[in-house]
Chain A
Amino acid sequence: MLTAFVESKLDPTKAVINEVCKAGDPWTGIVKQGQIFRILDLEGNQAVDTLFYNAEDAEERYSAADTIQKQGKLYLTTGSVLYSSEGRPMLTIIADTCGRHDTLGGACSSESNTVRYDLSKRPMHSCRDSFMHALQHSSHVHDRDMTKRDITANINFFMNVPVSPQGALSFADGISGAGKYVEMQAEMDILVLISNCPQLNNPCNGYNPTSVQLLIWNAN
C-alpha cells in the first residue's frame, strides 16, 4: 500500500478554530487561503465525508474526477492536490498520519441505503441528510442558495475503499485509528461542508460512529 505518513508540528493550543463535530452531525467552516485545516479522528475508524467550495463563488467546487485525473492515482494522501471543477488547486494535503483517504465512495443517503442494504433502511440517518440540514441552517452557507444540486462526489477522509487491478471495489475495515489526522493548506478561500458519517450498515465507521475534531491555524 502506498502511504505517505507525514506528521505535523502545529500546536493545537495555537489553533484559531478548535471544534468538535459529534457523531452523525454536520460541520461547516471557512478556511482562508494559506490557513491550515486539520481533521482529527478522535476515536478511530471514523469516515468524514467532506466537500470543499470556493468561498467566493460556490459554483467552483471540489472535483473528485479532476483530482484523480490530474494525480493519475485513486487515493489521497500527503502531497495530493485537491482540484476544483475549474481545474484549480483548492487545498494541498501537507500532513497525514492515516496514509490513505477515499474519494470514490461518495456519501450515504437514505435513497442509496434502500439500494445497498434494504428498502426498510430509508429512515436511517445519512450523510446527505446532514448535508441538506447544514445547507438550510449553517451561517456559512446561508444566502448562498445551495441545494442538492451542489452536492457532488466528496472526499471520505479516513475511509478505506480499495480497488483491485481487476476492478473490484470494496468497503474495507478502516485503516485509521484514534488520534490519526490529516492536514491540508488552502490554496484559495474555502467553504468546508462536512458530514461526520452516521452509517451503521458497513465497516466505514467500525459500526460505531464517533466524534471528530476540526482545527484551523493561520499561516505560519
Chain B
Amino acid sequence: MTLKFDKHKVLWEETVPGGCHWSGLVRRGTALRLTDLKGSANVSMLLYNAEEKLERYNMPDTLKAQHTAYLTAGNVCYSDMGRVMASIIYDSIGWHDTICGLSDAELILKKYGASDYQTNSNEMYRNAKDGLLVELSKYGLGKRDLVPNINLFSKVIADKDGVLTYVLEHSKAGDDIDMRFDMNVLVVLSTAPHPLDLRNKYEPADVLLTAWHAGLASNEDICVQHCEQNKRGFINTSRFYAS
C-alpha cells in the first residue's frame, strides 16, 4: 500500500504565487503535495541530489525507463545516476509534461508584453528560466545545471508526426499531485506559465505546497510495482543510503 495523504502528518504549508520561484531541501521520506489553487497552473521543476548536486533529474532516463512521454501516478523521477529521486504516489490530473522546457524572458515579453518591476512592482511578469536560475544560484549552481525539466499540471500531446499541441484547461482549481522524495533532494521550481500555453493573458495560477511525512516506499508501493525498471531504480536508491 502506498501511504495516503493525511492532514495529521503535515509538516508545513506555503503558497507560491503565480509566476514566482521557490527552492528548498526536501528530505527522503517527505512528500510534497502541490495544489493548483486557480486552475491551469504550471510548475516548472528541477531536482538535485542535495549531497552531490552533480546528480540531477534526467528527463531522457525517466522517460525511457518507464516507456512514457509524460508523468503521472506510478511514475518516478530518475536521476542521471540510475536512482529514484522522487515518485508520484497520487495524482488527480493524469498527465504532467517533461518535454517542453521553460518559459524565458524573450518568450514572456513576446507573448504577454512588457510588465517590469519599475512599472508594476511585484506584479511584474516573471519567467521560469530566470526564476530557476535565481534559485540555483543560491546553492552555487547555474546555467550548466539547467537541464530538461518537469512541467507539473501541464499537458502537451504529440501527433503521429511529432507536432505538439498544448491542452487548455487541463488542470482544474483544486487539482493536486503528491510527490514523495526518495532521496534528500534540492527542489527548485517556478510557477511561471508553460512555454506553449495558448492563452494570451499573463495570469499564472498560485500553487500551494504542503509538505507531509510519507515515509519510505514499501515493496507494495505503486511506484515500485509500476515496472521492473522501477524496482531496480529503488534498489539503486536504497544502496545509496545503506549504512
Contacts and interface: CB of A to CB of B under 8 A. Distances in A.
Contact of A115 (B78, B95, B106): B78
B68 to A, nearest CB: 6
B192 to A, nearest CB: 14
Interface string B50-62: 0000100011110
Nearest to B162: A74
B139 to A, nearest CB: 13
B73 to A, nearest CB: 14
Interface string A100-129: 000011110101111110110000000000
B104 A87 contact: yes
B69 interface: yes
Contact of B69 (A75, A112, A118, A168): A168
Interface residues of B, number: 46
Nearest to B232: A115
A149 B142 CA distance: 10
Interface stretch (B14-22, B152-160, B204-212): B152-160
B109 interface: no
B25 interface: no
Contacts of A64: 59, 101, 148
Interface stretch (A27-35, A65-73, A208-216): A65-73
B162 A111 contact: no
Which of the four size classes fits the interface of chain A?
Answer: 35 or more
B1 interface: no
B125 interface: no
Contact of A148 (B54, B82, B101): B54
A72 B143 CA distance: 23
Given A75-B162, A169-B69, 7 more contacts: A2-B163, A64-B148, A72-B196, A74-B158, A112-B58, A116-B65, A168-B69
20 contacts: A2-B161, A64-B59, A64-B101, A68-B100, A69-B100, A69-B101, A69-B196, A72-B196, A74-B99, A109-B61, A109-B80, A112-B80, A113-B82, A114-B232, A114-B236, A147-B54, A148-B54, A151-B80, A152-B148, A164-B69
